[in-house]
Amino acid sequence: MKRRLTMSAVAFATMILTLVATTTSASACWFGLYQPKEPKMLRK
């Protein structure tokens, strides 16, 4: 019983942390909080 509860907690934490990481990385550029400098070779 204890092992099953532990595995469920680990799976839930993994799911939540993956969701948070995906949302954070996708929204950083979307909202304009992170705008990397354009390399000189790509500028026109």
Output phi, psi for 27, to 5 deg. Answer: -85, -15
- 1-14 in b/e form (b: 16+ CB < 10 A) is eeeeeeeeeeeeee
pLDDT of residue 27: 65
DSSP 41: G
**Mean pLDDT along residues 10-27:** 89
- Looking at this protein, which amino acid is placed at residue 18? T
pTM of the model: 0.56
Confidence of residue 33 (pLDDT cuts 50, 70, 90): low
Output phi, psi for 2, to 5 deg. Answer: -65, -40
**Mean pLDDT along residues 9-32:** 83
Q: In this structure, are residues 30 and 22 in contact, taking their beta carbons and an 8 Å threshold?
A: no
